[in-house]
Amino acid sequence: MTTYRTRHGGTLRADDVGAEVQLAGWVARRRDHGGVAFIDLRDASGIVQIVVNPDEAPASSEVLRSLRTEFCISVTGRVRARPEGTKNPEMVTGEIEVAVAILDVLSAADVLPFQLDDRFDADEVRRLKYRYLDLRRDRMAANLRARSAVIRAMRHVMEERGFLEVETPTLVVSTPEGARDMLVPSRLRPGQFYALPQSPQLFKQLLMVAGVERYYQIARCYRDEDFRSDRQVEFTQLDLEGSFWDQEGVLDTLEAIAAGVVREVRGVDIPRPIPRMTYNEAMTRYGTDKPDVRFGMEIQNLDELFADSEFRVFADNMASGGTVRGLNVGNQGLSRTGFDKLVDQAKDLGAKGLFWMVVEQNGSVRSPVAKFLRSEELTGLVSAMEAQPGDALLVVADDFHTAVGVLGQLRLDLGQPARHDDLEFLFIVDFPVFEHAADGGLAPAHHPFTAPVDVEEMRTSPDTAISKSYDMVLNGAELGSGSVRIHDPEVQAQVFEILGISQEQAQARFGWFMEALRYGTPPHAGFAIGVDRLVAILQNEPNIREVMPFPKTQTGADPLTGAPGRVDEGQLEELGIEVRADVKAEWSASQTDAVPSESS
């Protein structure tokens, strides 16, 4: 049997001095000094320095002549202490090196398409095209290890608390869950389609009907939605559900998961209990249901201050049921041009406008609208917003959701820390049952299987009814959502009716699920945590692509494999699918199947 190594290089320490070892890995770096070659040998455990001296290993010195970066090699040699003055305290193996007696090349490497040293940046599309090389970089390897540690910690908590890991189908029927389904055509049933699951929602509820009581799964989920830094068409979540469980039981388990994960990856303990905030409080104070509470800069209600204002913009807005809200963003050192850009940004976000004011050293207020406001209004504004000289004050007069939403986004843009060195978990509770859809109707604020706090209130006042749902937020990012589920089929039918889903539509889409609810369904609740988002925050990565092994670009392309790709006419014919003529014309015009060069 061939032996490639007896130890992992990154595990060697000063205690191993004198030991003969066989190592295997990749040439991360090579330095030549007076005929002696110093090589950083990298394997999954880390890096160790090996030394090839032609006088001590003449055969290996011959091999050395052709050796380049990323050659895969095996070496045999003896561990020795590094000479004084050459020890590297920044490396865990920095006190020792391996004097090589035998060096064998296991596999040669072509010239690299980009440098794998973390000091060099490469275009993201190129990195994804050669993802198998990109993942050799220290940063990316560390992200994969962190991802594994997060999932390991999650599983530990789940198993410790008696949860059963159960897989659910990845080919399901299409159901409305907030985003477009990824569809899969059926060859055996032409014209019919499976959907890839947006989440295992209905199946995990069926497991509660089945008496599982405590379920979890590291689930792959799919949503055909536009890409952002924290979204991909396919992603991973920790999915969990429990019978005879209420909100308190879910949040207690989530606390244990968060604490276990952070301890495993960061080596610190998070403060417990995790704070809670209602949806209304979050929107009022921060303009978002996923507030970053690591910094202040809270939105202020200025309605009372400007209740009888003679400034027509404020007066007319409040007369029509609107509100006036303000934000003290501190001393940003903005010029007039800088404030004009904020005004344009506010309009792009949906506001009618934005008013800015700067507190001068003498306490007066400088603003294009200062002349329209009474002196007591300006003084009251400075007092209400606890402003100091140099502070910039931003004011929006609009309907409530627009005003707080715009200021909430500006708050993040002007105050949010760039890194996640500090971790602030938060639970948001008491979400509404429904929200207004673009067509003027109602849509589920969470999903249509979420239980209301009060069924009668949901029937009579659906616009204001509160649900038994909750989110977990970390540093301004929504890690996941959950709720107490509807276990009464009559209540579930009422929700469908309020949403405008007819009995026929409900039967066609959910008949199999509604029937299951009629067989002694226990009260149950659950949650799902986005693994990719959590790992990205813990690793201080700006987007989830950096912590996913093989992600897509922002346009959904995979430069590595060329997906999505075309298939031949025979396959389409078997599926009963025909590509439209205008799409074929676009293919002909492009003249290429290559993934376009793009910047993400």
501-528 confidence digits (pLDDT tens): 899 998 988 899 999 999 999 999 999 9
In angstroms, the CA 322 to CA 599 distance is 41
Tokens matching residue 64? 């050395």
Backbone angles phi, psi at 466, to 5 degrees: -100, 145
Q: DSSP label at 137?
A: S
Alpha helices in 36-137 (DSSP H): 58-64, 124-129, 131-134
The CA R_g of the chain, rounded to the nearest whole Å, is 30
In angstroms, the CA 193 to CA 470 distance is 33
Q: What is the pLDDT of residue 62?
A: 79
Short-list 542, 564, 569, CA closest to 553 = 564
3-state secondary structure (DSSP) of residue 372: helix
Q: What is the pLDDT of residue 596?
A: 43
Q: DSSP label at 180?
A: B
Length of the chain measured in residues: 600
Tokens 């050192």, residue located? 333
In angstroms, the CA 474 to CA 480 distance is 10
**Torsion (CA) 414, 419, 425, 428 in degrees, nearest 10:** 30
In angstroms, the CA 597 to CA 600 distance is 10
Q: What is the pLDDT of residue 178?
A: 63
Tokens matching residue 475? 């540093």
**pLDDT, tens only, 238-275:** 999 999 999 999 999 999 999 999 999 999 999 999 99
Start-to-end Cα distance in the chain: 47
Tokens matching residue 142? 């560390």
Tokens 């987007």, residue located? 543
Q: What share of the chain is helix, strand, coil (3-state, %, to 5)?
A: 30, 25, 45
In angstroms, the CA 450 to CA 433 distance is 7
C-beta of residue 13 within 8 angstroms of C-beta of residue 96: yes
Tokens matching residue 68? 């380049």
Pair type for strands 392-398 and 46-52: unpaired
In angstroms, the CA 379 to CA 510 distance is 59
Q: What domains can you pick out in the chain, each with its CATH number?
A: 9-107 (2.40.50.140), 141-278+424-547 (3.30.930.10), 296-415 (3.30.1360.30)
Q: What is the pLDDT of residue 176?
A: 61
β-strand partners of 238:
218, 529
How far are the Cα atoms of 130, 182, 225, 514, 534 from residue 235, in angstroms, in the given order?
21, 13, 12, 28, 12
Q: What is the pLDDT of residue 177?
A: 56
503-516 and 201-209 helices cross at what angle (nearest 10)?
50
- Stretches in the chain below the pLDDT threshold 50: 593-600
Q: What is the pLDDT of residue 1?
A: 56
pTM of the model: 0.92
Residue 358: half-sphere exposure toward Cβ, Cα within 13 Å: 13
